[in-house]
Structure 1
Amino acid sequence: MSARELVLGTAGHIDHGKTTLVRALTGTDTDRLPEERRRGITIELGFARWQLDAGKGQRLAVSIVDVPGHEALVRTMVAGAGGMDAVLLVISAEDGVMPQTREHLRVCALLGLRHAVVALTKIDRLGEDPSEREELLELAREDVRAELEATSFADAPIIPVSATEGAGLDELRAAVVGMIRGLPGRERKGPPILPVDRVFTMRGHGTVITGTLLCGELELREGSTELTLVPQGLGRQPFSVRVRGMQVHGEEATRSRAGTRTALNLGKVGVEALERGDVLTSGLAVVASDRLLARVEQLDFGARPWTRGTSLQLCAGTASTAAHLVPLTLADPETGALLDPVGKIAIGPGQAGLARLYLDVPLPIWAGQRLILRAFSAAHMQTDGLTIGGGVVVDPLPERRQPARRVALARALLGDDASAKVRALVEDAGASGVTLEALTLRAGVIHAAKLLGRMGVESGPLIELGGRWFARALLEPLLRAAVTEVDRFHAAHPLQPGLARATLEGALAQAGPSAAALRTAAVDLALARAQLRVADRSGSLARPGKGTLDPNDLPPPLHDVVERYRHAGISPPTLRDLGEALGLDAKAVLERVGVLQRSELLIKINDDLSYAPEAHAQLLTAVREHLAAHGELDVQALKGMTGLSRKFAVPWMEHLDRLGVTRRAGDRRLPGPKA
């Protein structure tokens, strides 16, 4: 039977015996640095493997993360705590609850940990007298129980132990096994997320990183596995890394599952390119972001409310940076629901709310990620530490919006309905639309494509256009605007058959911001509903019943032009000739001739030459008869058979080539496919 794998983290004040207890339980000294051994305190994260027998043939493969207890190293503690499944809270029976005991407890609770065992250490120092020792032990228990009472660890078992003498270790093991039985499993679906907590080089292997796999699975395929490194810090871009080898809980492996301590041997990348705080992942889950939307809470001992511009230290995963907070609204103290924003917002001690956070440097962020918020200094530092709050990421890459819109979106993203999250993001994007990639990342929904497929059916609320998703309801106002614009055009240009499609879509863009694909779709919908029609061969758009020219009832300005061309026969006027004859300027001539060309009442030969349809047909018939009889045609032959001057004959030859009636062969024309 395979062992269940999980991560157990220590927590507690400095010098309460965390590292000594881990060594007694596992045989591993987690203080690996020379400075740690010289000074006798933990400075960096330490790791140990602990195999436990859970009974009934079940084994537990526990990775212990030993964290430093010094007040100056809480950020390091948070980096280790982010991957824990449960906590081993270590409290000295001599000293009782201390400042970093409280701070570590709060960090664990803010990170969502709900399972703990308390090791009441150093009981061998409580004196020789058994009755006195028991009395002191009971006082220590009461102290601990009082501290835990208002936390999620209120029912945690408290086990007195002596790591040096071995007393209580069996009972502690049993308590840990019992706690583990009640632990829920990790989420193994979706992309893997592995925050890096150590980077080093191993002789003969190269670069190695370690971390706790928070969700998903990693599989080492034959050859190599590609992952994406999402970095923290300024000026660093995500890049691909190749995984050459893997260890899980200290043993060679080809697969790592959520909740396991994992080491990866990376190829062709140096240690200088990686650092604690980076994240290894694949797919669309993590983004390097310097702004985020989060539901935050301030602990009740805070000294002042969080207002616009409040500076805090933000810890996310194994990374940290300074952040500036902008409160958007408060949460209802009874239900936790976000309230409508009213007036100037401040999140006071004991309150929760929605805030936008601006980070000094980009960090790897994902939807649903737990955050720790710490003060840079405070009067309560000596009693409670600097951790004064926490939160959860609502949107890792928020757009600029008014507070009310941000709050409305956050309500949907904080809910459990994945479809509602996706739809809310699409509707919030408005006329700009949003890509599938952005939806997956911002909603934290791994099956966003499937949900979009359901909502994007013909009668559904969403529509996909040009690789972006929109609310279908946006088409209606654009459609109405398109119809209004065409009506306006008809009123201003009664002689024109219609408005060019590109001009219409350009006018819609001027009316308000919208994606080009959305404007195109709105015009297509107007055509499908017969609210617009194609008026001519050039694709001009008109309203039904308008822009149509009746050859037998043309408006006088157009009738005069057509008659000139009909009477001219195969020797039509140039545009200049026409303007002089009718007393029109060049612009008026171009407008009227263009209208007739698009309505096929004149046939365009080139920019300056057009024919009445009857004359055009007469010449085509003559050309086809000549080609059938002689097999070729040149300019002289065309002039001879039609009487055309060279001014007309040369453009006509080129026109015949375009029609496919002829094809050029030097100075001659041979029969074309439409001869």
Structure 2
Amino acid sequence: MSNVIIGTAGHIDHGKTTLIKALSGIETDTMTEEKERGISINLGFAYFDLPSGKRCGVVDVPGHEKFIKNMLVGAVGINLVLLLVDAREGIMPQTKEHADILSLLGVENFIIVMTKIDLADEDYRTLVREDIESFIKGTPLEGSPIVEVDSVSRKGIDELLHVIDKKTDDIAELKNSGNVRLNIDRAFQVKGFGTVITGTLTEGKISVGDELEVYPHDIKTKVRNIQVHKQDVKTAYAGQRTAINLTNIKVEDIGRGCSLATPGTLTKTYMLDTEVQMIKNSGINLELWDRVRVYTGTSEVMARFVPLGGDVLEEGSKGFAQLRLEEEIAVKNYDKFIIRTYSPMITIGGGVILDCNPKKHNRFNDEILNKLKIQSKGSGKDLIANYILLNQQYLVTADKIAKALEKSSEEVLKDLDELLEEKTVYVTKEGYIHSKKYEDVSERIAAVISDYHNKFKLKKGMSKAELISKFKMNQKEFAAMVELLSVNKVLKIEGNFVSIFDFSVKYDDKQMQEKKRIEKTLLESAFTPPTIKELTKGNKVANEVLDSLLGDTVIRLNEDIVIHVRTFDEAKNKVLKHFEGNKKLLLSEFRDMTGSTRKYALPILEYMDKAGVTKRVEDYRVKGNEV
């Protein structure tokens, strides 16, 4: 891995700062108070080169229990931890707390460094090593290499450098593509330059001139200058400790707890749905409304604890909880966090954010609990299916899924293809729908249309406009759903009418007689048909039959006039033949070619205009675009 951030951890006075000076030559205790007291209060930063030539950034975090919150800030973006244990003291309270915190934050790579070996004899060092091996057994630290060093005499330092070098080969490279994210741990003013922030770049890359946003304050800013390891650079990459000079921002408006990110990529929230892992042997359980301290990124915020699916979360157990925050923070799903008690401040657990924008919900809601179970597993297909199912919209695009779940388009499309094969989801031109939603919508639409068929047995179907008025869906979504149901042979679409797929109009003997009479009359009268009133003679059955023929064998021109579809086709052919040798068509010319009168010729031409056969220009017509 080319960019490595190493963090030190361990009990107070176990030699973290001295070790870093031995590795890098840099003194990370820079505050007067730190030098006077001989302990680290704030974060210290350094860098050094490994034998392979790789450069490592180092975060020196304070070990004293009073400064654990500073240690939590320093843990952001760490790839590898050097957990220090004094060869004279062995495992101490902060050793355990630091190890618990780092494990809960998802750090996977550790090297145990036994320090100050020149001050302990070999037999005692053997006992301490056994103490360490016992401590890490059954934890994420089990199997980590143990290196013995003395930072003053430099004994073991070269061996430690080689172990670090080898260990970094196993660390996955962070992605330099995609959105930017840097959790800010310091902000200060530099005379002549303005506001400078520091932090570990955990996602993407930042270049001079980039336009970014400071969360949660919604401040737009631009990158003026970048430094990595005290050197000016044009671009900083994920995994690097970075100092960035920003424009358009005052130092008092930014600080620890803020994040610098690509605009529109973080979610501001006062509430989190989470999975929490409680630390063993803390002696503390969490109950409904307990007040806790939550640490995520570089933020510290107070929150109320709301267990989900139970009334209490006991020490050593894992469960779901909603955290109701007292201040707004900006996060993403799957961010890690630590929980400490309000007072006294004791680390009792940590976990992962599963939904960074939830609503208040019943603590025993099975749908919510199932959703959180799926999200905690992190399976690509399951996450996508669950997101589509619970989304407020019926149809969800692949782009929206990728953005919401922070996945690449390629990953999402691959998983969607598999979900389509499994028939877990269906696809339309407006997006994807979950099979459960599809079945629900299908049943509801089919029920509405079936009811319509029962009431109007002679009508070929329900108009699209009337059907959509029955459902709270936007027109594009609804049209896409109807089209999908047509493809799946649930519905049948004929022109502007929608029916159940296997529905057909069935006439009794009397209705069939009226059908034949109406069609014969309209064919014989051609371009001078009787009015609707004359055609039906006020007969209820005739009216019902005529309605059933509309859009099929009969075309309605206006409130009073209908013509047979074959008559209209004949008129259309005459018009098209006319345009073979002419550019214009007058109403009088159309009247003469059909042998009709203005009363019929005008509505026929107006219908042709709507159909795109002709186009009206002033007092004449030209050939339409739809032919």
Fold match (TM-score > 0.5):
yes
* CA distances 1:172-209 after superposition (whole Å, capped 9, x unpaired): 45335424523421333364543222233444544433
State the shift of 1:28 in Å: 2.7
Give the partner amino acid of 2:459. Answer: Q
- The separation in 1 between residues aligned to 2:80 and 2:552, in whole angstroms, is 78
Q: Which amino acid aligns with 2:196?
A: V
Q: Give the C-alpha shift of residue 231 in structure 1.
A: 1.5
Map of 1:85 onto structure 2: 79
| Residue 29 of structure 2 corresponds to residue 66 of structure 1 | no
Percent same amino acid at aligned positions? 24
Letter in 2 for 1:226: D
Between the aligned partners of 1:553 and 1:525, the Cα distance in structure 2 is 37
1:179-578 to 2 correspondence within 5 Å?
179-183=164-168, 184-189=170-175, 191=178, 193-214=181-202, 217-218=204-205, 220=207, 224=208, 226=210, 228-229=212-213, 231-232=215-216, 236-237=217-218, 241-254=221-234, 256-272=236-252, 274-281=254-261, 286-328=266-308, 344-378=310-344, 386-397=346-357, 403-415=365-377, 417-427=379-389, 429=391, 432-437=394-399, 439-440=401-402, 443=405, 445-446=407-408, 447-452=410-415, 454-455=417-418, 461-472=424-435, 474-476=437-439, 478-507=441-470, 509=471, 520-528=479-487, 530-535=489-494, 537-541=495-499, 543-544=501-502, 546-547=504-505, 554=511
Could you tell me how far apart the structure 2 residues matched to 1:122 and 1:24 are? Answer: 14
In structure 2, give the amino acid aligned to 1:374: R
Moved more, 274-283 or 651-660: 651-660
CA distance in 2, matches of 1:257, 1:617: 68
How large is the RMSD of aligned CA atoms in angstroms?
A: 5.0
TM-score for both structures, normalised by structure 1: 0.73
C-alpha distance in structure 2 between counterparts of 1:526 and 1:432, whole Å = 14
Paired residues of 1:14 and 1:69 also in contact (CA < 8 A): yes
Equivalent-residue separation in structure 2 for 1:156 and 1:471 (angstroms): 48
Counterpart Cα distance in 1 of 2:96 and 2:288 = 28
Cα gap change, 1:39/1:545 in structure 2, threshold over 3 Å: closer, same or farther? closer
Q: 1:50 — aligned with what? A: 48
Query: Aligned partners of 2:279 and 2:23: how far apart in 1?
Result: 34
Provide the C-alpha distance between the structure 1 equivalents of 2:565 and 2:369, rounded to a whole number of angstroms. 65
> How far is 1:608 from its partner?
3.9
Residue aligned with 1:454, SS = helix
Distance 1:662 1:478 in 2: 39
Shift in CA distance, 607/516, structure 1 to aligned 2, threshold 3 Å: closer
- The answer on whether the counterparts of 1:291 and 1:396 sit within 8 Å (CA) in structure 2 is yes
Distance 1:46 1:159, change over 3 A: same
8 A Cα contact 2:22 2:157, kept in partner: no
Q: CA 1:22/1:567 → structure 2, altered by over 3 Å: closer, same or farther?
A: closer
Q: Classify 1:548/1:539 alpha carbon distance in 2 versus 1 (closer, same or farther; 3 Å).
A: farther
| Counterparts of 2:612 and 2:303, CA distance in 1 | 70
For 1:199-246, what per-residue CA distance to the aligned partner results, in whole angstroms no more than 9, with x for missing partners?
Answer: 33444544433222335x5264xxx563644623xxx3485x544443
Report the TM-score, using the length of structure 2 for normalisation.
0.77
User: Does the Cα contact within 8 Å between 1:635 and 1:653 map onto a contact in 2?
Assistant: no
Per-residue Cα deviation, 1:382-401 (whole angstroms, up to 9, x for no partner): xxx51111113344455769
> Is 1:178 equivalent to 2:131 in the alignment?
no
Q: Hey, what's the Cα distance between the residues in 2 that align with 1:476 and 1:259?
A: 47
CA positional deviation for 1:490: 1.7
Partners of 1:135 and 1:617 lie apart in 2 by 105
Residue 373 of structure 1 aligns to a residue whose secondary structure is strand
Q: Given the superposition, is the C-alpha separation of residues 637 and 448 from structure 1 closer, same or farther in structure 2, using an over 3 Å criterion?
A: closer
- Structure-2 separation of matches of 1:293 and 1:398: 6
Structure 2 gaps, min length 5: none
Paired residue secondary structure (2:199): strand
Cα shift at 1:79: 0.7
Structure 1 residues 564 and 529, CA, compared in 2 at 3 Å: closer, same or farther? same
Pair 1:67–1:304, CA change in 2 (3 A) = closer
> Cα 1:91–1:578, aligned 2, differ >3 Å: closer, same or farther?
same
Matches of 2:622 and 2:403 in 1, distance apart? 61
Deviations 1:49-108 (A, max 9, x none): 2334x3xxx235232212234434322210101222333445667877654444333222
Offset, 1:315: 1.0
Query: In structure 2, how many angstroms separate the alpha carbons of the residues matched to 1:297 and 1:623?
Result: 78
8 Å CA contact 1:188, 1:258 repeated in 2: yes
Q: 1: CA distance between counterparts of 2:612 and 2:4?
A: 76
The residue type paired with residue 46 of structure 1 is G
**Contact preservation (8 Å) 2:273, 2:354:** yes
The code of the aligned residue for 2:398 comes to: L
- Tell me the distance in 2 between the aligned counterparts of 1:286 and 1:454: 28
Change (3 A) 1:187 1:357: farther
Task: State the Cα distance separating 1:375 from its structure 2 match.
Answer: 0.7
Give the AA of the match of 2:110. Answer: H
Relative to structure 1, the CA distance from residue 248 to residue 170 in structure 2 (aligned partners, 3 Å threshold; closer, same or farther) is: farther
8 A contact 2:288–2:306 mirrored in 1: yes
Q: Is 1:157 the equivalent of 2:146?
A: yes
Equivalent position amino acid for 2:558 in 1: N
- Asked if the contact 1:157/1:175 (under 8 Å) is kept, the reply is no
Note the C-alpha offset of 1:139: 11
Matches within 5 A, 1:626-637: none
Contact 1:486–1:498 under 8 Å retained in 2: yes
TM-aligned CA deviation for residue 314 of structure 1: 1.3
Residues 575 and 589 in structure 1, CA contact (< 8 A), matched pair in contact too: no
Conserved? CA contact 1:230–1:287, under 8 Å: no
Please list, as runs of the form range in 1=range in 2, the aligned pairs for 1:115-134 lying within 5 A after superposition: 115-118=110-113, 120=115, 134=121
| Structure 1: unaligned runs, 5 residues or longer | 125-132, 330-343, 379-384
Between stretches 447-456 and 71-80, larger displacement belongs to: 447-456
Structure 2 residue matching 1:262: 3-state secondary structure = strand
Greater Rg by CA: 1
**Which deviations, in whole Å up to 9, do the C-alpha atoms of 1:91-149 show, x marking residues without a partner?**
6678776544443332223223441333545977xxxxxxxx75996699489648835
| Letter matched to residue 605 of structure 1 | L
With over 3 angstroms needed to count, the CA separation of the structure-2 counterparts of 1:39 and 1:136, relative to structure 1, is same
Summarize the alignment of residues 588-667 of structure 1 with structure 2, pairs less than 5 Å apart. Answer: 594-601=547-554, 603-611=555-563
User: Separation in 2 of the partners of 1:453 and 1:532?
Assistant: 25
Distance 2:414 2:126 in 1: 57
Q: Give the secondary-structure state (helix, strand or coil) at the position aligned to 2:449.
A: helix
- Go from structure 1 to structure 2 and tell me whether the alpha carbon gap of 1:212 and 1:598 turns closer, same or farther (over 3 Å shift): same
Q: What does residue 341 of structure 1 align with? A: none
Q: How many residues align?
A: 615
Aligned CA distance change for structure 1 residues 477 and 153 (closer, same or farther; 3 Å): closer
1:59 counterpart SS class: coil
1:138–1:617 distance in 2 versus 1, CA, 3 Å: closer
